[in-house]
């Protein structure tokens, strides 16, 4: 098994009871109508049936005769659904589905019903998943609908097929061969996304190239949009703010300039002439050197609204990123987004969404929630998670990210209501926000298994599931993925679940425990670099850890940068006290003396050392658990993961040794005697170079 089929590998059904339920259904399938999405469903059923039952499904022409499985929309099935059932299904909205048994003329039919064809598609995938994981029971009714409208992948793919922060090969968009050649991978990509409810993709890097907006490229993008449409997926593009200058030779990209406004309107109309359901633009502006409205003395709202107006007649959406910071601004980087966006709250058009990273710095191994959540409540806000593991071991380390995302989504933010959490805010509770979004920076590429590390597939899967329903538990999602990937053996399930659920905390322990952050290698971000100095201060490590002879950490209390003041008073108050703040965020907000007493009685210095050591131990535990599964796992998959876990152990030791040796030069205290003593020479670790590290 090379991992290409992801969680859709449709293993032969061995359980005879399950088989006796499924076989008759696939032996008499009736579609209430025809459309491209039903065609996609038919292809999926063909694939699944041949693989699970070694035979093709039988499609009937008549809804009663020889039919067992009904597939259609609520309207199409209205004659066979009771009024109550119709009302129940209608309430599930466009993307929702219901599946269960219906009776007609004394006969039973299993039905998969949505309000729209795409809901039917989601219902079919859910049904197939239940078969694969052996949880299907035709006597149980089931319905589901997403809590978030836009469930979106952000590809950071360049037009030359390199991928910014990509660790799984090159971009799967083969721009050179498009539009003539449609790689079958595009269809498998769409299937995988649809199977977990992802319904939007932005194809290109946020560090954008204006060429994507030329007519030649539009023809290529159109082909992708056509492939994705039956799977319910809309295409977005990143828009380079200076495109009017680059493409049409205008003298300015000032968002208030009539020629600039006309440029974007014409460009946008042209895109819609190729792609009538084009999703809209995603924009990174005035951040890390990207052009934006500030060059012309305009603010983010003026920039975003100009593009939003070009999109509005077509029902397009403008997604504007809040990841803005500048090294010329002397203010703590943590605070800059709030400083810019809070005064603009309520000034954005209705079809604008502000896309905010989960934390205020940058996808660190663990971040406290971004203070912009809850601080702006008259503007649509959406989440940006990072699925690609830029700061979390890239493609060599097994780190299951769902627990981290769950932690963020469940965080209480107390605004706009005392009960608000990040998840409730994203769902529009308390603000009435209708346009809702969870985006994830994609981790896929041309590697045969899509994501480089087999377990990185679980992050793609989990992202889709949490974007669909932010209240899902990471444990439940892990269970689903394990069953779909490795089968239903209970021993395999518990052991792999242990590995996955401990993996994120382990990585935080050996990389950045107790709230440390931004101490990774320069530019490639691979491995430790707490000593990284030089260049702009906000890209160095000491800017963040501030280690000195007294202690370590970033003081963001009122005595320090004051960033805590950007949170709701409930949060700011609790977190301002080093004895009350959850220890996992301690050094994020406080500069703490080396001998500060932690909750378990250790000094801070001892605690740092124990955490780093614990991280390494956890990886070794993961290795042992994996080794014990050898006889249960496909040999190729087993060996792939075994080798990568060995690399991960070395990398965990490297992080621990490098960081502890470095911080010891400030703490001047011995390591606790009962940890594995960090060995090696700090100068050696500092001298390591990685010119071929991927994805810069
Ligand atoms: C950082 C990446 C950088 C991205 C940037 C962004 O290091 O490559 O361009 O985020 O999100 O995580 O724009």
Tokens coding 456:
């990185």
- Which atom of ligand 1 lies nearest, measured to the CA of 284? 13
pLDDT at 680: 85
If asked whether residues 134 and 155 sit together in one domain, one would say no
Q: Is the pLDDT of residue 224 over 80?
A: yes
Of the residues 144, 165, 190, the one at which a domain ends: 144
Q: Which of 407, 506, 504 shows the shortest CA–CA distance to 459?
A: 504
CATH number at residue 452: 3.20.20.80
Q: Please identify which residue in the block is written with the tokens 């249960």.
A: 632
Q: Is the pLDDT of residue 696 over 80?
A: no
Is 555 catalytic? The answer is no
If asked whether residues 129 and 202 sit together in one domain, one would say no
- For the chain, the domain total comes to 3
Ligand 1 center to residue 129 CA distance, Å?
Answer: 34
If asked whether residues 137 and 43 sit together in one domain, one would say yes
Of these residues, 183, 248, 288, 469, which one is catalytic? 288
Q: What angle do CA 117, 120, 123 make, to 5 degrees?
A: 160
If asked whether residues 471 and 512 sit together in one domain, one would say no
The packing angle between helices 184-195 and 36-53, to 10°, is 90
Q: Is the pLDDT of residue 691 over 90?
A: no
Ligand 1 site-directed mutation target among 154, 156, 286, 289, most atoms within 8 Å of CB: 156
| pLDDT over 90, % of the chain | 98
Mean pLDDT, rounded, of the chain: 97
First to last CA, the chain: 30
Ligand 1 center to residue 331 CA distance, Å?
Answer: 20
Residue 601, judged by CB atoms within 10 A of its CB (0-12, 13-18, 19+), counts as exposed
pLDDT at 1: 85
pLDDT at 326: 87
Long-range contact pairs involving 260-268 (C-beta distance under 8 Å, separation at least 24)? 260/306, 261/306, 261/309, 261/310, 264/306, 264/307, 264/310, 265/309, 265/310, 267/213, 267/243, 267/310, 268/307, 268/310, 268/311, 268/314, 268/316
Contact in structure between 114 and 121 (CB atoms under 8 Å): yes
- Assign 480 a pLDDT band (cuts: 50, 70, 90): very high
Strands 551-552 vs 592-593: parallel, antiparallel or unpaired: antiparallel
- Which atom of ligand 1 lies nearest, measured to the CA of 165? 8
SS3 category, 281: strand
Tokens coding 110:
């299993």
Alpha carbon nearest to ligand 1 atom 2, residue: 165
Q: How many CA atoms lie within 13 A of 156 on its CB side?
A: 24
pLDDT at 694: 86
d(CA 85, CA 431): 31
Contact residues of ligand 1, CB 6 A cut-off: 164-165, 206-207, 284, 288, 323, 362-363, 390
If asked whether residues 125 and 215 sit together in one domain, one would say no
Tokens coding 696:
């810069």
pLDDT digits (tens, 9 = 90+) for 188-214: 999 999 999 999 999 999 999 999 999
Query: Which secondary structure element, helix H or strand E, spans residue 587, and what is its range?
Result: helix 586-589
- Assign 504 a pLDDT band (cuts: 50, 70, 90): very high
Residue 82 φ/ψ region, left for φ over 0, alpha for ψ in the -120 to 50 degree band, beta for the rest: beta
Ligand 1 site-directed mutation target among 157, 288, 391, 517, most atoms within 8 Å of CB: 288
SS3 category, 203: coil
Ligand 1 center to residue 393 CA distance, Å?
Answer: 16
Alpha carbon nearest to ligand 1 atom 1, residue: 362
Ligand 1 center to residue 362 CA distance, Å?
Answer: 7
If asked whether residues 156 and 130 sit together in one domain, one would say no
Three-class SS of 312-366: HHHCCEEEEECCCCCCCCCCCHHHHHHHHHHHHCCCCCCCEEEEEECCCCCCCCC
- Which atom of ligand 1 lies nearest, measured to the CA of 290? 13
Q: Please tell me whether the interface predicted TM-score (ipTM) of this complex is above 0.90.
A: yes
Contact in structure between 328 and 374 (CB atoms under 8 Å): no
- Which atom of ligand 1 lies nearest, measured to the CA of 696? 8
Alpha carbon nearest to ligand 1 atom 10, residue: 362
pLDDT digits (tens, 9 = 90+) for 311-330: 999 999 999 999 999 888 88
Q: How many CA atoms lie within 13 A of 227 on its CB side?
A: 23
Of the residues 116, 144, 172, the one at which a domain ends: 144
Average pLDDT on 106-135 reads: 97
If asked whether residues 406 and 356 sit together in one domain, one would say yes
Q: Is the pLDDT of residue 528 over 80?
A: yes
CATH number at residue 41: 3.30.379.10
Contact in structure between 321 and 439 (CB atoms under 8 Å): no
Is 362 catalytic? The answer is yes
Q: Is the pLDDT of residue 469 over 80?
A: yes
pLDDT at 69: 98
Ligand 1 center to residue 165 CA distance, Å?
Answer: 8
With respect to residue 107, please indicate whether it lies within any of the assigned structural domains: yes
If asked whether residues 369 and 411 sit together in one domain, one would say yes
Is 390 catalytic? The answer is yes
With respect to residue 2, please indicate whether it lies within any of the assigned structural domains: no
Average pLDDT on 369-373 reads: 98
d(CA 263, CA 243): 9
Ligand 1 site-directed mutation target among 285, 321, 323, most atoms within 8 Å of CB: 323
If asked whether residues 195 and 271 sit together in one domain, one would say yes
Q: How far lies 127's CA from each of 77, 80, 100, in Å?
A: 18, 20, 10
Q: How many CA atoms lie within 13 A of 20 on its CB side?
A: 3
- Which atom of ligand 1 lies nearest, measured to the CA of 386? 12
Domain that includes residue 97, residue range: 16-144
pLDDT at 679: 84
- Which atom of ligand 1 lies nearest, measured to the CA of 164? 8
Ligand 1 center to residue 694 CA distance, Å?
Answer: 14
pLDDT at 325: 92
Enter the DSSP assignment of 388. S
pLDDT at 329: 83
The arrangement of strands across the sheet holding 69-73 comes to: 29-31, 69-73, 107-114, 97-104, 142-144
If asked whether residues 115 and 156 sit together in one domain, one would say no
d(CA 556, CA 590): 6
Of these residues, 362, 497, 538, 583, which one is catalytic? 362
Query: Which secondary structure element, helix H or strand E, spans residue 87, and what is its range?
Result: helix 83-90
Average pLDDT on 583-593 reads: 98
With respect to residue 495, please indicate whether it lies within any of the assigned structural domains: no
Q: Is the pLDDT of residue 106 over 80?
A: yes
If asked whether residues 466 and 520 sit together in one domain, one would say no
If asked whether residues 32 and 82 sit together in one domain, one would say yes
Tokens coding 118:
């795409």
CATH number at residue 599: 3.90.1330.10
Of these residues, 254, 390, 427, 555, which one is catalytic? 390
Q: Is the pLDDT of residue 419 over 90?
A: yes
Contact in structure between 19 and 11 (CB atoms under 8 Å): no
Tokens coding 607:
């605690």
Read off φ and ψ for residue 385, nearest 5 degrees.
Answer: -100, 165
With respect to residue 560, please indicate whether it lies within any of the assigned structural domains: no
Ligand 1 center to residue 525 CA distance, Å?
Answer: 11
């Amino acid at each position: 098994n090379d991992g290409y089929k992801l969680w859709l590998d449709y293993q032969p059904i061995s359980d005879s009871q399950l088989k006796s339920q499924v076989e008759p259904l696939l032996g008499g399938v009736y579609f209430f109508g025809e459309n491209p999405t039903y065609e996609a469903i038919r292809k999926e059923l063909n694939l699944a049936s041949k693989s699970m039952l070694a035979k093709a499904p039988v499609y009937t022409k008549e809804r009663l005769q020889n039919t067992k499985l009904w597939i259609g929309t609520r309207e199409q099935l209205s004659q066979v659904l009771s009024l109550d059932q119709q009302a129940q299904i209608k309430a599930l909205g466009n993307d929702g589905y219901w599946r269960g048994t219906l009776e007609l003329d004394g006969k039973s039919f299993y039905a998969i019903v949505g309000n729209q064809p795409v809901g039917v598609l989601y219902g079919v995938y859910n049904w197939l998943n239940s078969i694969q994981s052996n949880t299907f029971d035709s006597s149980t009714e089931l319905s589901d609908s997403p809590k978030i409208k836009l469930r979106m992948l952000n590809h950071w793919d360049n037009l030359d097929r390199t991928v910014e922060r990509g660790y799984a090969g090159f971009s799967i968009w083969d721009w050179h061969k498009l539009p003539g050649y449609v790689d079958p991978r595009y269809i498998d990509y769409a299937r995988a996304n649809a199977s977990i409810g992802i319904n939007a993709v932005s194809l290109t890097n946020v560090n954008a190239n204006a060429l994507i907006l030329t007519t030649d490229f539009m023809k290529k993008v159109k082909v992708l949009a056509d492939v994705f449409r039956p799977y319910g997926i809309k295409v977005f593009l990143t828009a380079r703010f200076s495109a009017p200058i680059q493409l049409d030779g205008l003298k300015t990209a000032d968002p208030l300039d009539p020629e600039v406004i006309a440029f974007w309107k014409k460009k946008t109309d042209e895109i819609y002439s190729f792609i009538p359901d084009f999703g809209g633009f995603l924009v990174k502006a005035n951040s890390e050197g990207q052009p934006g409205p500030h060059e012309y003395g305009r603010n983010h709202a003026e920039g975003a609204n100009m593009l939003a107006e070009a999109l509005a007649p077509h029902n397009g959406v403008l997604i504007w990123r809040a990841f803005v910071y500048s090294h010329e601004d002397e203010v703590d980087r943590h605070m800059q987004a709030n400083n810019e966006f809070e005064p603009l709250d309520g000034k954005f058009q209705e079809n604008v969404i502000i896309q905010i990273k989960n934390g205020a710095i940058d996808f660190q191994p663990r971040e406290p929630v971004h203070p912009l959540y809850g601080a702006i409540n008259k503007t649509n806000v959406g989440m940006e998670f990072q699925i690609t593991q830029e700061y979390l071991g890239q493609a060599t380390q097994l780190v299951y990210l769902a627990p981290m995302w769950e932690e963020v989504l469940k965080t209480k933010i107390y605004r706009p209501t005392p009960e608000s959490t990040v998840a409730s805010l994203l769902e529009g509770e308390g603000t009435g926000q209708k346009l809702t979004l969870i985006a994830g920076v994609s981790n896929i590429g041309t590697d045969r298994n899509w994501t480089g590390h087999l377990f990185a597939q679980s992050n793609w899967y989990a992202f889709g599931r949490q974007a669909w329903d932010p209240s899902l538990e990471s444990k439940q999602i892990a269970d689903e993925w394990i069953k779909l990937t490795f089968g239903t053996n209970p021993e395999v399930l518990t052991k792999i679940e242990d590995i996955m659920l401990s993996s994120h905390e382990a990585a935080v322990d050996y990389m950045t425990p107790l709230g440390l952050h931004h101490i990774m290698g320069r530019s490639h971000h691979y491995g430790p670099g707490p000593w990284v100095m030089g260049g702009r201060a906000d890209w160095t490590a000491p800017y963040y850890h501030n280690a000195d002879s007294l202690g370590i950490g970033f003081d963001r209390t009122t005595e320090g940068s004051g960033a805590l003041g950007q949170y709701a008073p409930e949060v700011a108050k609790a977190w301002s006290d080093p004895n009350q703040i959850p220890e996992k965020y301690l050094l994020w907000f406080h500069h703490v003396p080396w001998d500060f007493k932690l909750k378990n009685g250790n000094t801070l210095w001892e605690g740092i050392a124990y955490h780093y050591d614990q991280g390494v131990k956890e990886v070794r535990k993961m290795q042992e658990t994996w080794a014990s599964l050898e006889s249960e796992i496909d040999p190729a998959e087993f060996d792939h993961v075994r080798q990568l876990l060995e690399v991960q152990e070395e990398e965990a030791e490297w992080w621990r040794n490098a960081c502890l040796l470095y911080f010891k030069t400030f703490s001047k205290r011995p390591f606790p005697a009962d940890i594995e003593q960090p060995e090696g020479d700090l100068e050696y670790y500092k001298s390591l170079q990685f010119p071929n590290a991927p994805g810069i």
